[in-house]
Structure 1
Amino acid sequence: MITAKKLFQMLLALFIGAIGSIVFIYLSLPLPWLLGAIFASSIAMRFENLPIQSPKTFSTPARVLIGLTIGSAFTPEILQYLDVSFYSLLLVIPFTILTILAGMYYYQRYQGFDKKTAYLSSMPGGVIEMVIIGEEIKADIAKITLVQSSRLFFIVISLPFVIQYIFKVDISGNQLITIPLSNINIGEFLALLVVGAIGGILAKKLKISAAYLIGPMILSIAVHSTGLITTSVPDEFLKFVQVVFGTIIGFTFRGVKLQTVIKTLIGTFGHFLILVCISTIFITIAYYSFGFPLLSTLLAFSPGGQAEINLIAILVSANVPYITLHHIVRLFIVMNLAPIFARKLKD
């Protein structure tokens, strides 16, 4: 149950995140609504006397909105070309396996992790999912949380700068992502929100991984690909989603000593460099073999969180269906194989 006090503290945290976003807009930095919120909240949460807390309660509706937005990209025209990405999707299997093996070796050899903790720390999956599995097999939950959060932090921070300064895609300032709220069909949008809520609830009952993202996405694909609904999530809502995720990411290290945070970031940076090398290999293979746009291929083989990478894909107008399918396959592999092999590992 959320009390009025907790709600106020979460709203204050979001307000601080939004202030950071406005500062990033003023400085013309990439993805200001996301990165600005990360920057501001990561500083604010170091001040323990501030009456703020992570707005995790807003994560569920934010994931629903991302799922609906992803689904709106699956137009009938795009669906005709999905079979072309089949062989690219097959590359996700060796990509995921190699990522896990390299990560396990690194964390055991250079960070002194036990096998179970190293295994779950190297998984290119969600933080929450890996922590749940870690609790079941008695791995080091604190290390898994810090490492997975650090990996996500590095990826979300670095990708926008790569996109803006290497790919020369201007994602600075307060740009329109989708159509503004004033131009949408309100009736269709309300119907889309109902579709999202139903999708999330059904997916949760069916115990589907990332239920509040995948469920709304599947139903959104259904209604958009058939033309039943043509409206997408308004621009203002997606900016709010960015502030929510940015603020949550910034709060990841709250309550952890600064020395521990720095040590974890340094340790995880080594793994991040390994991921960059592995991703580069598969991005090169996929790009030259199948001819998909390089930016979309980059995002398809970026081992970040599903919600965060898809959000970036939406913001830069990449091939969202292509990217989403790759991350769904990776998530399916991770969430189905991780518990099986984790229980068989012996320290």
Structure 2
Amino acid sequence: MNKSNIKMIARTALVGLVGAILFKLIHIPVPYLLGPMIAILLANRIFHFDMYWPKQIQSAGLIVIGYSLGIAFNEEVLKAMLLDIPMMLLVTTFLCAFSCFFAFLISKYGKIDYPTALTSSVPGGLTQIIAFAQDMKGVNLSTVTFFHTIRVIMIVILVPFIVHLPFLQPSSKAKSTDMHTVLGTLSWSHFLIYMVLCTIAALIGRKIKLPAAYLLGPLIITVLCNLTFIRASSMPPGLLNISQFVVGIHIGLLLHPESLKNKKQQLFFAFLSSIILILIAFVLSIVIMKYLEHTSIITGFLSLAPGGMDQMGIIGHEVHADVATITIYQLFRILYIYILIPPLLTIVNKRFHRETDNDKD
């Protein structure tokens, strides 16, 4: 690594640190994620600082986050979650069906082709959907990246404020998973063993092209080992904050608005689709999750919010929600999207280009 890259990494880390400290001092929710993200976004896009953040650092942060999500699971939790499969299928299908409908509106009024609009509207994680879009012929990758980045930004800004509203705080009757009761005290030997296993799992996942390998690989191996091998240890103090920090910087560097056409129009629809999806998740958390699943509204909302496992899991940790329920719902949606959405996108894409070719003839 040359000196120029080292300087840019140091500058990026310093800007992110300033954002984290500032957000912590003014008591903004999830400061170690939001602070670096907003600081990097402003420094990079407004002040035009040269910024660089190696993917390896972000991957290491995702490995730790994957472990932090996996340690919430034990036999009792997983058995209870199996009973939720019908409900998970119902709410996930509803969210995806609405996304398909809203994609039609975006395509019609936003002057975006339907395959691109559909790929932009699917309520999946940014990294996973971008991987799909890269394999889809004719999909505008810049538009898809822009829509999903705006959604990530909206989620990590709005969701923490929503879940901190006083009237949403969980009652004593709400189902909850406190990480300190699930895990014992910190065991460095167990923790180090898991970190080695998580790293190996992430690399193997990457090799076999597992989606979101640096998050899913550690999560899967942690759950399996926690159930059959060595009991997972609690996290060393501050490690999750550091992971939030490096992921927050990564998110802040993702948006490239200069590559877009019709920026104002696309920005409007990106914000509108994000707000509507968040609103639908909030309503479902009240109507379905609270009264049928008997979770707190916060847990239900974070379980259904159209973000990734990492962001929702981080926020769940911060507000002492049921991280196991949040993770299993988010994981189910990822699997649902991986299994059903790529074939749907392929069919829609072929049909769209067939109709386009016929119109030309």
Is the 1:45–1:254 Cα contact (8 Å) retained in structure 2? no
1:315-330 aligned at under 5 Å gives the runs 315-330=318-333
Is the 2:146–2:256 Cα contact (8 Å) retained in structure 1? no
Find the aligned partners of 2:79 and 2:346 in 1 and give their Cα distance: 41
**Alignment pair present for 1:241 and 2:243:** yes
The answer for the alignment partner of 1:275 in structure 2 is: 277
1:155-194 aligned at under 5 Å gives the runs 155-167=155-167, 184-194=186-196
The answer for the alignment partner of 2:51 in structure 1 is: 52
The answer for the alignment partner of 2:356 in structure 1 is: none
Once structures 1 and 2 are overlaid, which stretch shifts more, 76-85 or 303-312? 76-85
The answer for the alignment partner of 2:305 in structure 1 is: 302
1:329-344 aligned at under 5 Å gives the runs 329-344=332-347
Structure 1 residues 3 and 100, CA gap change in structure 2 (3 angstroms)? farther
The answer for the alignment partner of 1:14 in structure 2 is: 13
User: TM-score with structure 2 length normalisation?
Assistant: 0.84
Contiguous gaps of at least 5 residues in structure 2: 171-178, 354-361
The answer for the alignment partner of 1:210 in structure 2 is: 212
One-letter amino acid of the counterpart of residue 120, structure 2:
S
The answer for the alignment partner of 2:70 in structure 1 is: 71
Is the 2:163–2:169 Cα contact (8 Å) retained in structure 1? yes
Per the TM alignment, residue 122 of structure 1 is displaced from its structure 2 partner at its CA by: 0.7
Find the aligned partners of 1:286 and 1:153 in 2 and give their Cα distance: 25
Once structures 1 and 2 are overlaid, which stretch shifts more, 190-199 or 68-77? 68-77
Find the aligned partners of 2:263 and 2:13 in 1 and give their Cα distance: 22
Per the TM alignment, residue 70 of structure 1 is displaced from its structure 2 partner at its CA by: 0.9
One-letter amino acid of the counterpart of residue 292, structure 1:
T
The answer for the alignment partner of 1:173 in structure 2 is: none
The answer for the alignment partner of 2:226 in structure 1 is: 224
Find the aligned partners of 1:55 and 1:9 in 2 and give their Cα distance: 10
Find the aligned partners of 1:268 and 1:313 in 2 and give their Cα distance: 25
Per the TM alignment, residue 48 of structure 1 is displaced from its structure 2 partner at its CA by: 6.2
Find the aligned partners of 2:263 and 2:63 in 1 and give their Cα distance: 31
One-letter amino acid of the counterpart of residue 130, structure 2:
V
Find the aligned partners of 2:14 and 2:307 in 1 and give their Cα distance: 26
Structure 1 residues 107 and 342, CA gap change in structure 2 (3 angstroms)? same
One-letter amino acid of the counterpart of residue 326, structure 2:
I
Q: Secondary structure at the match of 2:291?
A: helix
Per the TM alignment, residue 260 of structure 1 is displaced from its structure 2 partner at its CA by: 6.8
Higher relative contact order (CA 8 A, sep 6+): 1
User: TM-score with structure 1 length normalisation?
Assistant: 0.87
Which of residues 277, 286, 291 is equivalent to 1:288? 291
Structure 1 residues 124 and 3, CA gap change in structure 2 (3 angstroms)? farther
Once structures 1 and 2 are overlaid, which stretch shifts more, 125-134 or 253-262? 253-262
Find the aligned partners of 1:186 and 1:316 in 2 and give their Cα distance: 26
The sequence identity of aligned pairs, in percent, is 25
Find the aligned partners of 2:344 and 2:143 in 1 and give their Cα distance: 19
**Alignment pair present for 1:150 and 2:189:** no
Is the 2:63–2:214 Cα contact (8 Å) retained in structure 1? yes
Deviations 1:167-212 (A, max 9, x none): 5659xxxxxx989xxx833222211111111221232233322111
Find the aligned partners of 1:130 and 1:79 in 2 and give their Cα distance: 27
Find the aligned partners of 2:39 and 2:324 in 1 and give their Cα distance: 32
Find the aligned partners of 1:138 and 1:7 in 2 and give their Cα distance: 37
Deviations 1:294-345 (A, max 9, x none): 2111111101122211221222222122111111111112122232122222
Structure 1 residues 255 and 155, CA gap change in structure 2 (3 angstroms)? closer
The answer for the alignment partner of 2:94 in structure 1 is: 95
Per the TM alignment, residue 140 of structure 1 is displaced from its structure 2 partner at its CA by: 0.8
Per the TM alignment, residue 123 of structure 1 is displaced from its structure 2 partner at its CA by: 1.1
